[in-house]
Each structure stands twice: as structure tokens, then as C-alpha cells.
Structure 1
Amino acid sequence: MPVYKDEQRKTYFFVVRVKQNDGSTKQIKRRGFKTKKEAKEAEAKALINMETSSNITFKQAAESYFEWYKARRKKSSIQVIKNILYNHLVPEFGLAKMYLITPKNIMEYQNKIINKYSPDFLMKIHTTLSAVFNFSIKFYGVKNNPARIAGNFEVEPNKRLNYWDFEEFKQFISVVDDEIYKAFFTTLYFSGARKGELLALQWSDVNFEENSIHISKTEYNREVTKPKSKTSIRYILMPGHVMKLLKQLKNEAEKKAPLKPDYRVFGSFYSSLSTSTIDRRYEKYIKASGVKRIVLHEFRHSHASYLINKNCNPLIISQRLGHKDVAETLNTYSHLYPSQQSEIVAIMDNDKLD
């Protein structure tokens, strides 16, 4: 393409025409370049940007975004995004050109799936869709984000949490007849740790003198990785009866072979208990105890509920759970606090104005 000189201004400019997918032609004109070389370089860059923005499909953008994402995130998060991209978004938008996807298209897709999934999952689908567009704006010259314009699903997230109170946990643990599982489930309930954090626990992380466990890693699909976040790295003080179970577990393990510091607490040598085996045992104990079923992650919610009912400081609860700040704790468990409103009113009733 030729570059032209503006004789009046003594500068250079270029004019290019780019064919669009709908058959029309778009003209790009840029002025004010001091040299012919600068004008040619700007012209080339404009052509690349227009070509990229015009031709990239959603599938291509999603694949590129996923490659970027999986190089920077944990495996557990990668699986979630992979599922959303390839099982939900790519089948819907895959062959569409990015620049042709409109807010109306996004809204129509939302209407199609709004009653199929939980509010939390719907919101995750939307944030992933928006992330693909933001990524494409940054790296592929796409001009706008129709997902941002359309807005997220206007649905209430599910804030109802399932958990056991202390009596329910006692009912459950009373039927657990295997020492390692009794120690595992009890530590899970009284620590608020995530399942993967306990499966990654090594004997060097257990301090019997200070009655604490050190959470510094997690496990996913039998692979030990960094924890969820920096605040997930923490020391958790444990009650004496839990440490007693861990001590008994250690003593039994030492009868079989000398223990090394990097052996797993809940497992054998360098291997942890398999999640499938834990799930089978868990189902067995649920049926035997007759207690309502909660998922293992809800042991974490049970721990928070247990502490809230003991009137523990939210900041301490936040630190035990490894939340980034106390606001996250209060936001997650705010529904557990209204039960104490009557106690607060009773305190205020004691302070008479007359």
C-alpha cells in the first residue's frame, strides 16, 4: 500500500481499506507521521490489528486464553475453566468471529441456560466468557467486550451452606472404626483445613510441642502443589484431643518402619490416602451413623459454624481458615450470625435510659 505526503503539513499519511466479513469495506486513515518509514510501520501495524480483530473466532480466542491461563494457575482451577470453555462456551460461540458477537448474543445465551445451573456456576460461566474477551482485547486487537456490556446473570448466588453442628459430628465420628480415618475426619472438623491441605500434610508439619499443624501446600490428583493463596499458608493451633489422635497415628506408623519427616501424615510413606478410598469410607460411615450427608468441603463450614457458636472472634476464624481477610469470612458466614441477634438485644435491654 502506498504512503502519501501531505505537502501542506510536510508530514506523511496512509489510507488502507480492509474488507470485512460481511462484504463491506472499512477505511483506515492516519496522518501526522514525520517520516515515510514511520507511516509505513504504522500502516503495517494497523493492517495486522484489523486482520486479527476481524478474523479471529471465539474458539481460537478461547484456546489461546486457555493456554495462557493454564500456565499461570493451579490444576484444580484449570479443570474448572477447561470445563466451562470446552463444554459450554466453545459449543455456543465457537465459530463466531469475536467482533461479530454482540451483547444481544450474550443475553440470548444467558436466557438459554439461566435455569439449568446453580447461580454460582452461572456467574462463573459469565466471568470466564468476559475474561476471554478481555484477553482478546489485550492480545488480538478485539475492540470491545460484549459480555461486560450485557452484564452478569442477575441471579442471587447460593449462600446457603450445609454443615454439621458438634452433636452431629459426634454422632458421625462415633462409628468411625479405623484409626487413620478417625484422625483424618477429626482433624478436618477441628482445623477448618481443606481436604487437599490435610492430604499434603507431612510429619514435619505437625508440632506436638506447640499443638499445631503447619499448612504450606495442598494436593490435587495425587500431586502436591502450592496452596490456594498466600494467606492459605498458616499455622493452626489444635485441641489436645486431636493431637492425641495424631500422636497415636504416628506411634502406629513407627511400629512398621522408621518415620521420615517428609512422610505423609494421612497415608503411607510418601503417598496420601486416595480420594476415592476416602469417599467410599465416608459414605460407609454416613450410612452407619445416620447423620445427614454433607460433602467433605463442608467440614470446613462446620468448623466455622462451630467457632461462631462459641462466640469466637471473626478475625481468628479468618486466620484459621486461611481467608485473605476477615471480610471474606464475614461475607461467607454472615447468615450464621443472625441467631445471636436476640442475645445482643437482651444486652441492650439491660441498659435503661430512665
Structure 2
Amino acid sequence: MTTIKKDEKNNLYWFKISLGTDPTTGKRRQTTRRGFKKKADAEKAYNDLKNQYYNGVLVYNKSTKLKEFIAEYLKWYKTQVRSTTYENRVSSINKNIIAIWGEYKIEQITPIAIQKWQHELLSNKLNQNYVRSLHISLSQILERAITLDIIKTNPAKKAGNVKRKKVEVEFWTEAELRLILETMDKTNLIQYFGYIIIKFLFYTGLRFSEMQALQWTDFYEINKSISISKDLDYKNQNNWVFDDLKNKSSYRSIILDDDTFYMLLEWKNFQKTLFNVKEDSFIFSYDNGIPTNKYFPMNTIIRHAKKANIKRIKTHALRHSHASFLISLDINIIAIAKRLGHTDVQEVLKTYGHLYPQHQFDVVENINNHIKNSKKIKRGQLKVKTFQ
């Protein structure tokens, strides 16, 4: 029977509820909630806790091992993010959080212990920004524990994260792209397909998974554009599904330059000689409509960068190459952000700010000219007042 009590000193309601037996310690688990102005509010909170417990949410406390809580956390986390994000995050959590913290009780994860964990990861030569991302994952897990009233404070937040290490992005110039393309034999199917993909990514800036998901229904000949409305979660040629895009800004339509547009038209005609092309067929497919293998562009880059005697870059760096190309053309930064599907211009500046050196000089020159002109005006005004 529910017992809602009233504290006569402050005229507020409170209750104590039993939530079964802790699976780790075998002890009876109870929690107390206070500060309700109305009895009905206290009753509602009591019933909500009881329902959550029977739904399997509140079976843990601060004495529970972290690995047991993470197992529950991941069930919830999977409902919050894209499948690709979930899979990537689970892998790092298993390797660098559960493997190290798994046997610890939640209450044993203290700020000083987290600081020691950071130092150990760094001493093992893990990338500093990767360690930073692991800390964020751990903090999110512990934040969820706070939400579920398992702990009161987040020790990861108290410990603080490691400093972000600025890494300059790698990219190709347009001249380097041309050197790469010149090494490809367009009479060879595999090399021709590689030519299409590398050139397309350079001149559109799409994420590779966005490109993978493109179908001919996303290609509009009337206004020479493509619509980016989905991602592809690719495991292998027999296991792939469409996925949501990274964020709202990722849903966009971009206009193709004439050269890229006509390249796709030529590819579509050639593709028809390979298999029965339908409106919903993948644009980037040469094997009976099967989507592009995610390793294909990287293998193409490795092979032909060596032939062209230029630096090798990652597939994602073609997106950076597009951004740097637009910056070199002095394209408006807002237009660049929208074309890349960034949330705002700050993302562009954070990633590509170092590519704007001349713009920095232009800003300073404009400020200097403004100040000089302002001083001239003031001197003129002072002279007028003197003569008066």
C-alpha cells in the first residue's frame, strides 16, 4: 500500500519506496523522494518509479558494477542515435571503458580515478582527441546514471576532459586531383568507376555514406541537382540498410557543376550496359545494382596516389578537399556550410579556419583603414571647433 507522508514543518509531501533486491549485493533497495507540494504529485512520482522498476529501468544502484549498468544504458542509447553511430560507439566503449572500468562499482568511479585513466590511455599512445571522445562517452553514461537517480553527481565532469589537440585536415588541391585522374584508364570498368567516385566526392563534398545512398531518384536533370535525404549503413553487399542523416542540416539539395552533371549523365548511360537500371537503382553501382563497397574509394586512392606520386589521403579527406577548393574560390562561408550540411559556419571555421590566412589580413587591413579614417574625421571636427 502506498504511504505518502506529510512533513508538517515545511508542509511538503514525501514517500519511501522499495524497489526490490539489488542484483549485485542481494540487499533490499529503497529510495526516498521529498519536496512535493501536492499529495497527488507525490503519488504520481511514486507510481512512475514503480512502473519504471517493473520495466527493468531501476534495478541498479551505485554499488552495481559499471558493466552491468552499461548493458542497460546501451539499450537506451541505441534508441537515441543512428545505427552507425551506435555501432562505432559500442566498439570504443567495449575496448576502452568496459575492459577497464567494467568490474568497478559505480561508486568507485571517482574524479581522481578518471584522471588516472586518462593518463594511462595517453601513455599507451592513444590519440589525444580519441581519449577526449572516450571521456565524453563515459561522462554520458554517468550522466544517464544521474537521470535514473543512481548517483547524484558526475565524476567525469568533475575530473574534466583532456585538451583538444588541433589537427590540420588533409586534402588534395584541384591540381593534385587532376594528377590522380590522369592515372586512371576509363576503358577499364574498375578504374572508370573509381574515376567517377573520386571526382564526384571532390566536387560535391558529400560524406561517403551519403554518396553510397544516392539513387537515380535523387538526381534531378532539370536543375542539375542532387537531393541528400538518407545515409547508407553498409556492412557488406548482402547486409545494408538506409539510415537517417547525421543532423537536420545534412538534409539538403546541392547544385552540380556542369562537368560533374554531364559526367553523371554519361555514367548513367554506361551503367545501362551493365545491368537493368531502374529509377531507384543506386547511382554509384556497377555490380548489378549492389551499393558501392565502402573500401573501394580508399583502395583506389592508395593505388593511384602512388602512380601519380602525390600524398595519400583518406576517403573523408575528399570532403575536406572540396571545402578547401571552395575557400580558394572565395565562396561565401555560409554557402560552404550549407553545401557541406554543417549546422552553422562555426563548424566550417573550426575545421577549415587555418585555410583563411588572407582573409585574416583583409580583416586587419579594413580595421586599420577604419581607425585611420575615424581619426582624420575627429581631427577635422576639432579644427572646426577651434576656429569657432
Contact 2:66 2:106 (C-alpha < 8 Å) held by counterparts = yes
CA separation of 1:60 and 1:244: change in aligned 2, threshold 3 A: same
Q: Which residue of 2 aligns with 1:287?
A: 306
Q: Which residue of 2 aligns with 1:241?
A: 259
Instruction: Note the C-alpha offset of 1:137.
Output: 1.3
Partner of residue 273 from structure 1, selected from 288, 292, 309: 292
SS in 2 for 1:55: coil
**Structure 2: distance between partners of 1:211 and 1:11:** 66
**Structure 1: distance between partners of 2:201 and 2:139:** 36
Instruction: Note the C-alpha offset of 1:167.
Output: 0.9
The one-letter amino acid of 2:327's match is I
**Structure 2: distance between partners of 1:15 and 1:243:** 68
**Structure 2: distance between partners of 1:230 and 1:147:** 29
The one-letter amino acid of 1:325's match is D
The one-letter amino acid of 2:69's match is A
**Structure 2: distance between partners of 1:80 and 1:97:** 25
Question: Structure 2 stretches of 5 or more lacking a match?
Answer: 186-190, 235-239, 377-388
Instruction: Note the C-alpha offset of 1:279.
Output: 2.8
Q: Which residue of 1 aligns with 2:81?
A: 73
**Structure 2: distance between partners of 1:60 and 1:223:** 30
Instruction: Note the C-alpha offset of 1:240.
Output: 0.8
Counterpart check, 1:229 vs 2:237: no
Instruction: Note the C-alpha offset of 1:66.
Output: 1.2
CA separation of 1:267 and 1:13: change in aligned 2, threshold 3 A: closer
Q: Which residue of 1 aligns with 2:184?
A: 176
Counterpart check, 1:263 vs 2:271: no
Q: Which residue of 1 aligns with 2:324?
A: 305
Instruction: Note the C-alpha offset of 1:133.
Output: 0.6
Counterpart check, 1:207 vs 2:220: yes
Partner of residue 111 from structure 2, selected from 103, 107, 121: 103
The one-letter amino acid of 1:262's match is D
Q: Which residue of 2 aligns with 1:121?
A: 130
**Structure 2: distance between partners of 1:144 and 1:215:** 41
SS in 2 for 1:255: coil
The one-letter amino acid of 1:264's match is F
**Structure 2: distance between partners of 1:260 and 1:15:** 64
- Give me the CA root mean square deviation: 3.9
CA deviation profile, 1:142-175 (whole Å, cap 9, x unmatched): 222100111111x233331101111111111111
Percent identity between matched residues is 27
Contact 1:11 1:34 (C-alpha < 8 Å) held by counterparts = yes
The one-letter amino acid of 1:131's match is Q
Q: Which residue of 1 aligns with 2:272?
A: 254
SS in 2 for 1:87: helix
Q: TM-score, normalised by structure 1?
A: 0.84
**Aligned counterparts, 1:17-166, within 5 A:** 52-115=60-123, 116-153=125-162, 155-166=163-174
Counterpart check, 1:319 vs 2:338: yes
**Structure 1: distance between partners of 2:358 and 2:138:** 39
The one-letter amino acid of 2:202's match is Y
SS in 2 for 1:247: helix
Contact 2:205 2:323 (C-alpha < 8 Å) held by counterparts = yes
The one-letter amino acid of 1:91's match is A
Contact 1:13 1:31 (C-alpha < 8 Å) held by counterparts = yes
**Structure 1: distance between partners of 2:280 and 2:217:** 6
Contact 1:196 1:218 (C-alpha < 8 Å) held by counterparts = yes
CA deviation profile, 1:238-279 (whole Å, cap 9, x unmatched): 111111211111111223454211001110443112123333
The one-letter amino acid of 2:145's match is S
Contact 1:179 1:249 (C-alpha < 8 Å) held by counterparts = no
SS in 1 for 2:91: helix
Question: Structure 1 stretches of 5 or more lacking a match?
Answer: none
Contact 2:179 2:308 (C-alpha < 8 Å) held by counterparts = yes
CA separation of 1:166 and 1:99: change in aligned 2, threshold 3 A: same
